[in-house]
Amino acid sequence: MIYYLKHQPAEVVDLLAWPPLRVYNNATGAQWLSIADLIYLEGVANYTWLHWADGRRVLIPYTLKRLESQLPDAWFLRLHRQYLVNRQFIERVELTIDKPQIQLITGLYLPISRRRWVLLRQHLCLQKP
């Protein structure tokens, strides 16, 4: 079963007005990057990979839980213990036999945990086609 969603959250928060994230890179030093272009975050142990719309990936030494508290709840959704996704980049939500998953605009599929599926479905106000 495939669900389609509205891209505007109930509470409209301007992502460009939200404070940017501070990201440190050995080559370029500290940078302040806008979260409007952040597609999803992937937690790996005590580190987090930030995946941006222009294709770059940045590894930062913070947990996903810590970063989740710094991002707007209306736009960033926790799918799984490893994934946090920007809802403006979600194309559709699929409920397959194995597990529910989200397809991003980039074509990537991310899993949704069983426990978060019910909450996510209510939060996104999913509609059948």
Tell me whether residue 129 is in a domain.
no
pLDDT at residue 13 tops 60: no
pTM of the model: 0.81
The answer to whether 92 and 104 are in contact (CB under 8 A) is no
pLDDT in tens, 63-72: 999 999 888 8
- Count other Cβ atoms within 10 Å, centred on residue 84: 23
SS3 of residue 84 by DSSP: strand
Tell me whether residue 114 is in a domain.
yes
Tell me whether residue 40 is in a domain.
yes
CA 104 to chain centre: 10
Tell me whether residue 41 is in a domain.
yes
What tokens appear for 65 in the block?
């839980």
SS3 of residue 120 by DSSP: helix
| pLDDT at residue 9 in the model | 52
Residues sharing a CB contact under 8 Å with residue 118, sequence separation 6 or more, in sequence order: none
pLDDT in tens, 34-47: 888 899 999 999 99
Tell me whether residue 57 is in a domain.
yes
Tell me whether residue 111 is in a domain.
yes
Tell me whether residue 97 is in a domain.
yes
Q: Could you give the number of structural domains in the chain?
A: 1
SS3 of residue 25 by DSSP: strand
Tell me whether residue 54 is in a domain.
yes
pLDDT at residue 33 tops 50: yes
Domain residues for the domain of 51 are: 2-7+15-124
CATH number, position 57 = 2.40.50.1020
pLDDT at residue 12 tops 50: no
